Amino acid sequence: MLATTGTVGTALAFPQANGSVVFPDSACGNSQGQRVLVAYASQFGTTGEIAEAMAGRFCLAGMSADTKRVRDVQDLADYDAVIIGAAIHYDNWMAEARHFVTGNEDTLSRIPVAYFFTCGTLADSSDKAIAKSDEYADKIASVSDRVTPLSIGRFAGVLDYSRMNLRTRIGLWPFFTVIGANEGDYRDWAAINDWTDNTIAPPPFTTT
């Protein structure tokens, strides 16, 4: 029993994707337009798929956009605006995203920035789930008191055991069972597109 608990603890602390999970890294758009970075943290790739879809919307609107994991972002100097998105892990925005914001406060405090998060909670549209997502948004808003996001998008995410390696699947299954999360792709692409088109671009990215 103790050994099992240890394995579960390890899997919870270090959830691992299986080898087939893809983390989008791409660029699109008009090099003459404003440059947007959509940087993301994701364990199983699905938040990255949202980030890449957002980048596609910016490019359709005449900008250029890069999609990158936050860990792969080298330099923010060339960007006119930055979107930072991450999955919620254990009631927090993934640490990688938080560290990215605090580590780049100088630049991010000078340009338009928006945040978004994905979570299992919003698979359910109950008042309780909305209240929980309010808590997530409040925590994310206070990651840096120097960076004020224009908006914090909140989206239902994905629970897909086939994206996890076996050890992680076995480790996380009890956690998701206890919190009542059912496997599924809960992403609402209309809501994601709407947030991207109407809340974020344009304006404010067309204004200086």
Which spans of this chain sit near ligand FMN (rule: CB under 6 A)? 15, 42-47, 87-91, 118-121, 157-159, 172
Identify which of residues 81 and 87 has a Cβ nearer to ligand FMN in the complex: 87
Identify which of residues 5 and 31 has a Cβ nearer to ligand FMN in the complex: 5
> How many angstroms separate the CA atoms of 26 and 52, rounded?
7
Least spacing, CB of residue 150 vs ligand FMN, in Å: 22
> How many angstroms separate the CA atoms of 183 and 1, rounded?
26
Least spacing, CB of residue 85 vs ligand FMN, in Å: 9
Nearest residue to 66 (alpha-carbon basis) of 114, 26, 108, 97: 26
Element (H, E) at 50: helix 46-60
> How many angstroms separate the CA atoms of 73 and 166, rounded?
30
**Residue 108, exposed/middle/buried by CB under 10 A (0-12, 13-18, 19+)?**
buried
How far from each other are the two terminal CA atoms of the chain, in whole angstroms?
Answer: 59
Identify which of residues 34 and 42 has a Cβ nearer to ligand FMN in the complex: 42
Identify which of residues 29 and 120 has a Cβ nearer to ligand FMN in the complex: 120
Identity at 58, one-letter amino acid code: F
CB proximity list for 25: less than 8 A, separation 6 or greater: 67, 68, 69, 72
Cβ-proximal residue to ligand FMN, closest one: 157
Least spacing, CB of residue 188 vs ligand FMN, in Å: 12
Least spacing, CB of residue 155 vs ligand FMN, in Å: 8
Least spacing, CB of residue 45 vs ligand FMN, in Å: 5
| Count of C-beta atoms within a 10 Å radius of residue 56 | 18
Identify which of residues 63 and 119 has a Cβ nearer to ligand FMN in the complex: 119
Least spacing, CB of residue 175 vs ligand FMN, in Å: 7
Identify which of residues 140 and 159 has a Cβ nearer to ligand FMN in the complex: 159
